[in-house]
Structure 1
């Protein structure tokens, strides 16, 4: 089937000259881009007022499948992804069983064939995510993993971590690190600071993340291997990564929308949906994250989409950490980064599509003829209020719930197939 998208504002983050024009999709690929395209027998969609961009690549997602499908599963998580303009995602290995054997990788990839978007798999670095014994990285590579991580847990054994990083480099598999020192976190629930003391809630010091970051950077530098640092949240981590990059350390990193949009102040509500790991920090940290995005220290924006049931999130102190975010990530970026002038729309889209694709060694064709027809169409100006009940995943623990954001996804195409259409567009 041919699909002709007419009069869209074409925003390809790898090309510096946005233009208004048409896109022609056929057999899952872009076959024409720019200018005025005339073709017979195509389904035509008027995209006047909408921006067309490459589908987003979310490199940090918890699909909870296998083992926790009451929270999310592969198909429901991918519906949420499509509704947020995400056409490729990397799912994390902290499932039950953990993604530490080829059979579990095969299960995810087979089920993902029926999903709305492309699913890549992060295999575990250590068996059971316990940090004691390395997985068979060669077997995981052969099974089809895209990256390696013990996400949610740091690999505290430095020798084991160094060996894993060196072997992963030989396989050209990126290693994604959750930087934390559990002994410093020590049961903390929110950022250690003014709000935690006021609420009399155990705090998580910045040092927990920053000591973990320092360790990983030291290993990458000493052994000359690449590393990717997940969900950066503190001023100190940004400064260390910036310094390491200047020294030539092969490090990339990501942050999440809640770290550039929100601070610990919102925790005064005692709403567990606003608790995540690492926690929301201070205004000083938030500005440091924004500056890191501006100067290129922070390469990518990912969501750390972490579904939990309402029952789990009912108790502020006992609830697990995490919030869902794929359906709000683009709008949060537009609202908190583009509109205030910190990033251009093209820069935001680069950090949400091209950059994560390159970190994960995935092909990225942008909006050029021949590229996969993975696209998001959105209205960058439309304001909307986040209603958790209207989200498309199983869990509703949305970090931006009740907030008004600007930038509304209207249509998402994955492989040329329409996988999401906003109700107002039908």
Structure 2
């Protein structure tokens, strides 16, 4: 048996000082005593002990793009960030759009240090109008369905997918983007795009497809989850939909909460992501949506790229930002230390809520349940250093003297075993 002593434990949404006893990978006891049967003692040193963080939106790039990331490096980065369960998007090469390819992906995922739940694509190759074999993929272990990286343009395709996914009591996670309105843009429409002379992405590329999908979700009853929302109108649409009883949830990324297009001073593609950084008004609306509960969870959209794919300016560089190693410290520093929320609420957004909404065996510290835990020193102040990252991707704007953070992940445990 293992003992984690001197834990400032987040348990039942309250902070308590206790010891945790772990046996056979599960939490056996929460106690003030130290049992004489203990074989290993871990001193948490009065640091915060939380349920392992849960990220329902990551890209680990394997197979097909292992120069960007591998399951090994991505999962090591996740553990470094305090995450113990992640949802891997299916935009790998090849897309796992049949049972054989999906089962191969699941086999590859066994290389992970953390627990990976695997998305299956909604349509074949993610870009066609032909639905994937949804029922067979669900039986093969798909926890949810998404064409992340691609909006589903055809309303009939989306409606049929929603009906079938609803019948399975599964989840449809949508990247809402009308390609025609996106119009090969690389940056948000506004003053920054004009100043830099770059082709712009209109907000309605997101919101028009979202409005359509919410009505389809109302008709089908599917659990419709909106990935990485970025605009004020998206927040308002989801708020209205929830009030109307539509089965919708949504996520927002740390970068959309912390940055706007006003922060883009030069043609630096570390600020290029999809959806793009929006206006300060949009950013403020996203923060309000988090605080009032319209936005259900934080997800990183961890999207690593090789250095030479991100150093060519906005026009020629890839979309995407890494995030799984920086998300908790950023959110803790900018949201909890600033007084916008307490740490219990932050852990709910980054662990408990995503696990509950997606019916995952994660996100709680509970006797008899798997011991997936993170130990976090909330008082450790530091700057992000790219040499410390375990991800292959170093594409982030959050390094440098402007981003002093608190909240260092000290240890991460999966099934009671230390993985970081």
Q: Flag whether TM exceeds 0.5 (same fold).
A: yes
Aligned counterpart in structure 2 of residue 67 of structure 1, from 60, 64, 70: 64
The question of 1:38 aligning with 2:35 is answered yes
Residue in 1 that maps onto 2:382: 384
The question of 1:281 aligning with 2:283 is answered no
CA contact (8 A) 2:54 2:363 kept: no
Residue in 2 that maps onto 1:6: 5
1:26 offset after TM fit, Å? 1.5
Moved over 6 A (4+): none
CA offsets 1:122-143 (integer angstroms, 9 cap, x no match): 0000001113100000111121
Q: What TM-score do the two structures reach when normalised by structure 2?
A: 0.97
The question of 1:102 aligning with 2:137 is answered no
1:162 offset after TM fit, Å? 0.7
Query: Secondary structure at the residue paired with 2:139?
Result: helix
The question of 1:360 aligning with 2:380 is answered no
Residue in 2 that maps onto 1:225: 222
* Matches of 2:369 and 2:382, distance apart in 1: 31
* Matches of 1:17 and 1:57, distance apart in 2: 19
Residue in 2 that maps onto 1:409: 409
CA contact (8 A) 2:353 2:363 kept: no
* Matches of 2:362 and 2:113, distance apart in 1: 19
* Matches of 2:339 and 2:33, distance apart in 1: 31
* Matches of 2:124 and 2:214, distance apart in 1: 23
Number of corresponding residues: 417
* Matches of 2:275 and 2:44, distance apart in 1: 39
* Matches of 1:304 and 1:358, distance apart in 2: 19
Aligned counterpart in structure 1 of residue 183 of structure 2, from 182, 186, 191: 186
* Matches of 2:363 and 2:249, distance apart in 1: 21
CA contact (8 A) 1:174 1:359 kept: no
Residues 109-124 of structure 1 mapped to structure 2, 5 A cutoff: 109-124=106-121
1:35 offset after TM fit, Å? 2.9
RMSD: 1.3
1:359 offset after TM fit, Å? 2.1
1:208 offset after TM fit, Å? 1.1
* Matches of 2:105 and 2:397, distance apart in 1: 27
CA offsets 1:326-364 (integer angstroms, 9 cap, x no match): 011111110121112222111110111111112222123
Change (3 A) 1:252 1:39: farther
Residue in 1 that maps onto 2:128: 131
The question of 1:50 aligning with 2:67 is answered no
CA offsets 1:135-170 (integer angstroms, 9 cap, x no match): 000111121111100001011111111111111111
Q: What TM-score do the two structures reach when normalised by structure 1?
A: 0.95
* Matches of 2:49 and 2:99, distance apart in 1: 37
CA contact (8 A) 1:5 1:24 kept: yes
